[in-house]
Amino acid sequence: DGGITQSPKYLFRKEGQNVTLSCEQNLNHDAMYWYRQDPGQGLRLIYYSQIVNDFQKGDIAEGYSVSREKKESFPLTVTSAQKNPTAFYLCASRPDGYSNQPQHFGDGTRLSIL
Amino acid sequence: AQSVTQLGSHVSVSEGALVLLRCNYSSSVPPYLFWYVQYPNQGLQLLLKYTTGATLVKGINGFEAEFKKSETSFHLTKPSAHMSDAAEYFCAVSGNAGGTSYGKLTFGQGTILTVHP
Q: What is the pLDDT of residue B54?
A: 84
Q: How is residue B52 annotated by DSSP?
A: S
Q: At a CB cut-off of 8 Å and minimum separation 6, what does B42 contact?
A: A107, A108
Nearest-Cα residue of chain A relative to residue B112:
A40
Q: What is the pLDDT of residue B52?
A: 80
- CA–CA gap between residue B14 and residue B64 (Å, rounded): 19
Asked if residue B101 has pLDDT above 60, the reply is no
Asked if residue A83 has pLDDT above 80, the reply is yes
Say how many residues make up chain A: 114
* Confidence at A99, pLDDT banded by 50, 70, 90: low
- CA–CA gap between residue A45 and residue B89 (Å, rounded): 18
Across A1-5, A20-24, B76-80, least confident range: A1-5
Tell me: the pLDDT tens digits for A61-75? Answer: 999 999 999 999 999
Residues of A with CB under 8 A from a CB of B: 4, 6, 31, 33, 40-45, 48, 50, 56, 58, 88, 90, 92, 94, 97-108, 110
Tell me: the pLDDT tens digits for A16-51? Answer: 899 999 999 999 999 999 999 998 888 999 999 989
**Alpha carbon A72 to chain centroid distance?**
13
- CA–CA gap between residue A40 and residue B91 (Å, rounded): 13
Sign of the Cα torsion A6, B48, B64, B2 reads positive
Asked if residue A96 has pLDDT above 80, the reply is yes
A·B CB contacts under 8 A: 71
- Whole-number mean pLDDT of chain B? 90
Q: Do A42 and B107 touch (CB under 8 A)?
A: yes
- Whole-number mean pLDDT of chain A? 92
- Considering only CB atoms, A45 lies closest to which of B51, B97, B104, namely B104
Query: Closest approach of chain A CAs to the CA of B2, in angstroms?
Result: 13
Q: What is the DSSP string of chain A?
A: ---EEEE-SEEEE-TT--EEEEEEE-S--SEEEEEEE-TTS-EEEEEEEEETTEEEE-TT-TTEEE--SBTTB--EEE-TT-S---EEEEEEEESSS-TTSPPEE---EEEEE-
* Confidence at B104, pLDDT banded by 50, 70, 90: confident
- Considering only CB atoms, B102 lies closest to which of A4, A41, A50, namely A50
